Structure 1
Amino acid sequence: MKVQRYAAVAGAGLIAAATLSACGSNNNSPSSSGTTAAGSSSATAAAISCGSGTLTLAGSTAQSNAISKWTKDYQAACSGATINYNPNGSGAGLTAFEQNQVDFAGSDYPMAATDVPKADARCGTGNNAVNIPLVPGAIAVMYNVSGVTSSLNLSAQTLAKIFNGKITTWNDPAIAGENSGVTLPSTKITTFHRSDKSGTSFNFSNYLNKTDAADFPTAANKQWPGTGGQGENGSSGVAQAVKTTDGGIGYAEISYASSNNLQTAKVGNAQGQYVAATTANASAFIAKANVQTSANGIQLAFDYTYSDPSAYPAVLVTYEIACGSGNTSAQLPLIKGFLDYGVSNTAQTELPTAGYVQLPTSIQTQVKTLIDSIK
């Protein structure tokens, strides 16, 4: 492996290779822009570790803008490296990893207990696969209600009732009570959710279930577990459906709301505060995650009772699922080099400009240590 130092990578635009949407296929990609900077082989050093060859990746479309940005920077610094990422969804990416079709996969939820044996087996006898949290983000609740131009306040309890069909009109007393002074129409509420298996669905349903199990009793699931509503493929499908439906409401990564000029709700947290979906507010919530470590890497468990008034609780984290051991000697420098760049200060500080959330420093350090241990 060679280590190359460079001052700046030319080109400042973020080129999105595919749609920014968690788990599932999308056809349209909201573009973001970011600043290109020097790479880093550690969380603090201004160097990038260059591997050579071709890296084949697949999975989460939620992180596709980040991967596209990092790929551009890494390939510019490392002339011998080629990185190909297929954002075909978390489930498809994990399957491709288990079948040894990709070097590692992106998933908006960590490996389930049923996934671990297959992922470990892919890495070879006596070896193990690991979860590497790398790209956090906020899930926005976006809506389209004619005549309503302000950002509505929606508590977890109200959202749970909306997405389970218990609140059916926009002037329902529960919504009106949370939005004093806002004139709400009697328009019918039409909810939209992901029809495909989705990490966004998993994380949003987890927020509703953990915050209000009485009104949203079904546990988190990749396949949307709520009742009623209309399913749409990918976050782009959900956003487009909300945009074209008066009275529509849905959930997606925040970039989809902004790229479609959709209003987003201030979401209720455990403190009883209504919090806007911003990277800073999502970061305040992610920073208090319980970091769980095991032979299969790092998993972040969120405390939905966390009482910071600025914490935005509807979040997701994309994990890279890779072999912690058992990588070939030919691919190991490139796998570690690219992942190491992704966790570097340079790459992480670029995430907010693309609508993501930077890993908190303490978690970033632990992820760096995990990546360095890959063999």
Structure 2
Amino acid sequence: MNIKRIGSIAAIAIAGAVVLSSCAANEDAGSTESSSSNSDYSSLSGTLTGSGSSAQQTAQATWAAGFQDQASGVTVNYSPDGSGAGRKNFIAGAADFAGSDAALNDEELSGSFDLCKADTKAIDIPVYISPIAIAYKVDGVSDLTLDAKTIAGIFSGKITKWNDSQIADLNDGVDLPDANITVVHRSDDSGTTQNFSEYVSANAGDVWTEEPSQTFPYSVGDSAKGTSGVASAMGSATNAITYIDDSGAGDLDKAKLMVGDKATEISADGAAQVVADSKVATGREDNDLAIDIDRKDTADGAWPLVLVSYAIACQEYKDSDKADLVKGFLSYVVTGDAQDAAAKEAKSAALSSDLAEKAAAAVDSIK
């Protein structure tokens, strides 16, 4: 995605997708207090290259267009290669920043980063909050409720029929077909898979017996690369189900999730609420804002099947000009205007005012 002063997100989508200790947030979840940036980006020039999360794809297109309206000398390229590929590209110096639905892990942080100054590390800055949908396409079914155990059973291959008693018990009065379930999952190293597997592992560990991972662990169903690949596979599938960032679910039906004892509709507000109820992970670098998501949050309206997606950048770049570009772009991304624009286009949740303030401080520390 190579975007330079494109006025419409629809135009970006048509142009093509591929080249393109303390609480994390306060009760003001899902909205930013500051509505705009006071920064002047007009002096910046150059090319900025990002790689990673396909869930961020629509948001990145939105941010790039908005930023380039204010920084006409900058070209922003973002390639939605998947979170794992994005982190690898950033670590190897092939991308100036990464988009990732999973924060850097201990092994990655123990190594070196090609673009970062010696003896410095990269940091994770939350920029995108989104619910993960359990999206389905089932003959004759437009209303479906699932809980963590049935989701874990379906995606691990233990539940194979749509009219299985475990599904039927949650859907009294729904005419479930006597049809095989087609599972569609990610084939690539995916932060969405990481977040999905964290949720089912935390809530149905007796069924989902594999450790949370960015690679799908079971030999079941069909696989596809990236959010758009999963959406495409679902479009041609029959009696199928998948997990997908809500921005990519399109016209697919979306299951309600049993949260506590309530069947809960998917919502960006519910996702933001869970992040607000969660904490920043401890034991990491200063200004690293990896979120330890509370996957067992049962507050009214909460959607614990949520992803927090990050921009990963150097604390200190070897190239000061590159640092200025990254810092400029990310300082725009965490503004209220940029967050609200992405929320509108991608059905995500804007950072809360508290988390946006922390993210802005982390961006400001980049040099």
One-letter amino acid of the counterpart of residue 192, structure 1: V
The C-alpha deviation readout for 1:91-129, integer Å capped at 9, x for no partner, is 222222112222111111111111113344641222221
Q: Cα–Cα, structure 1 residues 184 and 290, in superposed 2: closer, same or farther, change >3 Å?
A: same
Q: Which one of 173, 185, 189 corresponds to residue 193 of structure 1?
A: 185
Match of residue 160, structure 2, among 143, 168, 177: 168
* Structure 1 pair 80–245 and aligned structure 2 pair: CA distance change class (3 A): closer
Among candidates 257, 264, 280, match of residue 275 of structure 1: 264
2:285 match: 295
- Give secondary structure in 1 for the equivalent of 2:107: coil
8 Å Cα contact 1:275/1:281 also seen in 2? no
Residue 72 of structure 1 is matched in structure 2 by 65
Question: What is the RMSD of the two structures over their aligned residues, measured on CA atoms?
Answer: 2.2
198, 201, 204: which one pairs with 1:206?
198
Aligned 8 A contact 1:98 1:119 in 2: yes
Q: Deviations over 1:79-101 (max 9, x none)?
A: 22221222222222222211222
1:339 equivalent in structure 2:
330
Q: Secondary structure at the match of 2:362?
A: helix
Indicate if the aligned counterparts of 1:43 and 1:343 stay in contact, CA closer than 8 A. no
Structure 2 runs not aligned, ≥5 long: 21-32
Match of 1:93 in 2: 86
Aligned to 1:33: none
Stretch deviating more after TM superposition (332-341 or 321-330): 321-330
Q: Amino acid of the residue matched to residue 49 of structure 2?
A: T
Contact 1:128 1:326 in 2 (8 A): no
Q: Does structure 1 conserve the Cα–Cα contact (< 8 Å) formed by 2:53 and 2:83?
A: yes
What is aligned with 1:123? 116
Count of aligned pairs between the two proteins:
344
2: CA distance, partners of 1:227 / 1:96: 28
Q: TM-score, normalised by structure 2?
A: 0.87
2-structure distance, mates of 1:326, 1:63: 23
Please report how far the alpha carbon of residue 236 of structure 1 lies from its aligned counterpart in structure 2 after TM superposition: 2.7
What one-letter code is carried by the residue in structure 2 that aligns with 1:295?
E
Structure 1 vs Structure 2: percent identity of aligned residues?
35
Q: Determine helix, strand or coil for the equivalent of 2:201.
A: helix
Say which of 51, 55, 59 aligns to 1:62.
55
Residue 326 of structure 1: how far off its partner (Å): 3.1
- Provide closer, same or farther for how the CA distance between residues 101 and 234 of structure 1 changes in structure 2, counting only shifts above 3 A: closer
Shift of 1:10: 9.0
1:350 aligns with 2:361: no
Q: Do the aligned partners of 2:50 and 2:79 also contact (CA within 8 Å) in 1?
A: yes
Q: How does 1:1-375 map to 2 (within 5 A)?
A: 11-14=7-10, 15-16=12-13, 19=17, 43=34, 46-50=37-41, 51-120=44-113, 122-150=115-143, 152-258=144-250, 261-269=251-259, 271-292=260-281, 294-295=284-285, 297-354=288-345, 355-375=347-367
Q: Deviations over 1:227-277 (max 9, x none)?
A: 42222222333223333332211111113222xx211100122x2222222
Equivalent position amino acid for 1:246 in 2: T
Q: Does the 8 A contact of 2:83 with 2:99 survive in 1?
A: yes
Which structure ranks higher in relative contact order (CA pairs < 8 Å, sequence separation ≥ 6)? 2
- Which letter does structure 2 place at the counterpart of 1:226? Y
